Amino acid sequence: MAFESPCSLEYMDTVIPFNLDHLGWIAIQDNGSQDVMCVEGHNGYSFVFYDDTEELLRESIKSYVTDVNYLVKRVSLLEILHSWRAMVYKGERQLIMGCKNYLCDTALSSPAGMLYPHAFNLISYLVDASGNALTDEWGSLICAGSPTRLIQSACYDKNELLLSVYGNKTQIKTEPLIFIAKHYKSVFCEGFTCNVPLALAHSYHARNSKNV
């Protein structure tokens, strides 16, 4: 396949063995910016340094970068998983699907960079009275990881659309991402545009089926 895999198959679809309220550790750059420290730009993904204890975090960072000043911060898995799916966790680049009591529902992208999608993530989108799915001006499907997030991201500043949804003139449909990919090359998901075939090509499902 014509891309470099972000990590090996054994580190894909990782489920972190804690509940969503578990407090782990991340590193913050000590340069005035207070940006989260990560391994940048590995084939579209930025891998945030995250671990279960401060000691494990420091050991993990040492194996990737040296002579860098940083601060450490305790955060809940809830805070991390809404913005990051690619992590250096236990010293390895891993693509995370969630934790014991939570499977991630943000589909494809976030301000922190591309989020790793599962092929069978359920994606919600809007369909008008004629049965046509709503797209943006570039033809990208307007969608989100859940019906509630779809209303929040697509309708919050469009009263007419919101009334149409609540009046059952515009309906919400939910389908697995892999089926949506058959009809839409790009999606506008929760404020960000993403190339669906490229994102799915990185998934465990696609790579394992092609022995990559």
Closest CA to 13 of 85, 88, 82: 85
Residue 46 has pLDDT above 90, yes or no: no
What's the CA gap between 33 and 12, in Å, rounded?
A: 31
What's the CA gap between 191 and 212, in Å, rounded?
A: 31
pLDDT of residue 50: 95
- Tokens 């998934």 sit on residue: 203
What whole-number percentage of the chain has pLDDT above 90? 33
Q: Encode pLDDT of 69-116 as tens digits.
A: 899 999 999 888 877 888 999 999 998 888 999 887 765 555 555 566
Range 28-33 contact pairs with CB under 8 angstroms and sequence separation of 24 or more: 28/70, 28/71, 28/72, 28/73, 29/68, 29/69, 29/70, 30/69, 30/70, 30/71, 31/69
CB-hemisphere CA count at 13 Å for 91?
A: 5
pLDDT of residue 197: 83
Average pLDDT, the chain: 84
Residue 3 has pLDDT above 60, yes or no: no
What's the CA gap between 149 and 143, in Å, rounded?
A: 9
Q: Where are the domains of the chain?
A: 9-99, 122-199
Greater pLDDT, 35 or 59: 59
Which residue(s) pair with 114 in the sheet?
109
Greater pLDDT, 3 or 9: 9
In this prediction the pTM is 0.74
